[in-house]
Amino acid sequence: MRFERLDLNLLVAFDAIVTEGSVTSAAEKLHLSQSAMSSALGRLRDFFGDELFVRVGRDQRATPLAEALAGPVREVLRDVQSNIIRRQPFDPKTSTLQFSLAVSDFMTQVVVSDLARHLCEVAPLTRLNLTPLRGEAVRRRFVAGEIDFLLCPQSVMVPELPYERLFSEGFKVVGCAQHWQDTSVLTRKQFEEAGHVAVRLGEQQTPGIDELICLNAGIDRRIQVIVGAFDHVAAFVAGTHRLAMLQSGMAERVASQWDLKIFNTPFDSQSFTEVLQWQPVNANSSAHVWFRDVAIRRIREQFARSEPEGSSIL
């Protein structure tokens, strides 16, 4: 490799001559022939415009320029050796790295908050930067490398990037417990006639999974309120006759807080799969490998502890 006309391999030869004190010994150290090492020295002299080493008896004595270069060259080679060739292992106890994730409000509430608490224990100096997963702009930032990880449903992930499946979960229907107290099983007719709270994401108003599930089932909901995140849904259902669809885990968590009643969907609805995605450029980074392993294990453990009906760990 050349940098500003200098063959960087010549720096290795230079350091070997400084260390060994002779061209012959330096050649042996680098497993080069005498002529190859002499050629390297000639090219160094030509580049720097200096003899660099002068023969005194059987040894090579460094010129003032060579002596001045010896320390910086050794430092450069040491940095290459330790930081590039032999990368230092990631130490979570001392690392101050920041890991950035694009994550849905559902995943933030259900599992990522637990992950953040766990990081306080195992990697206390690291930082976790969460970006709401809302709209196509966030996906573009992830693809551009501005965000390290994408935590999202498999149906909206970036297909060409590596990922790991975490768990599978279904949807439930929620309604105000007071207004739906006499209803034990929700019918499709009741579901279609009721007003609904729906989720649409980002500036483009991308339909949420709840709306996609209904469209796939051939149901055209009578939407009365549109919100930008699933964690806003309960507030617009409570105290009304409206219905909404929420992930099973989130429905269980908000039901008591907002006095909601939970129903099974009155139609066949497939579950969805959550995945963790990352950048290929970071696939072998010791820090990113560590974070992926911790995140995947912790999320699966946390979800298993509160696994709702219709859900499964993958």
Q: Which two tokens stand for residue 238?
A: 């409570």
Q: Rounded to a whole number, what is the distance in angstroms from the first to the last CA of the chain?
A: 46
Q: Which two tokens stand for residue 227?
A: 């919100």
What pLDDT, in 10s, does the model give residues 277-307?
998 878 878 899 999 999 999 999 877 765 5
Q: What is the mean pLDDT of the chain?
A: 86
Residues of the chain with CATH 3.40.190.10: 98-168+274-313, 171-263
Residue 313 reports pLDDT greater than 60: no
Do 232 and 253 contact (CB within 8 A), yes or no?
A: no
What pLDDT, in 10s, does the model give residues 10-68?
888 898 888 888 888 888 888 788 888 888 899 899 988 999 988 877 767 899 998 99
For residue 3, what are the CA distances in angstroms to 9, 11, 13, 258? Answer: 10, 11, 16, 65
Phi, psi of 172 (to 5 degrees): -125, 165
Residues of the chain with CATH 1.10.10.10: 2-85
What is the percentage of the chain residues whose pLDDT exceeds 70? 92
| pLDDT score of 242 | 97
CATH of the domain spanning 171-263: 3.40.190.10
Shortest CA distance to 17 belongs to which of 50, 61, 51?
Answer: 61
Dihedral over Cα of 26, 29, 33, 39: its sign = negative
For 16-53, b/e burial (b = at least 16 CB within 10 A) is: bbbebbbbebbbebbebeeeebeebbeebeeebeebbb
| pLDDT score of 1 | 42
The fold adopted by the segment(s) 98-168+274-313 is D-Maltodextrin-Binding Protein; domain 2 (3.40.190)
Residue 311 reports pLDDT greater than 80: no
| pLDDT score of 293 | 95
> Distance (Å, rounded) from C-alpha 138 to C-alpha 168?
23
CATH of the domain spanning 2-85: 1.10.10.10
Residue 125 reports pLDDT greater than 90: yes
What pLDDT, in 10s, does the model give residues 92-105?
999 999 999 999 87
- pLDDT grade, residue 312 (50/70/90)? low
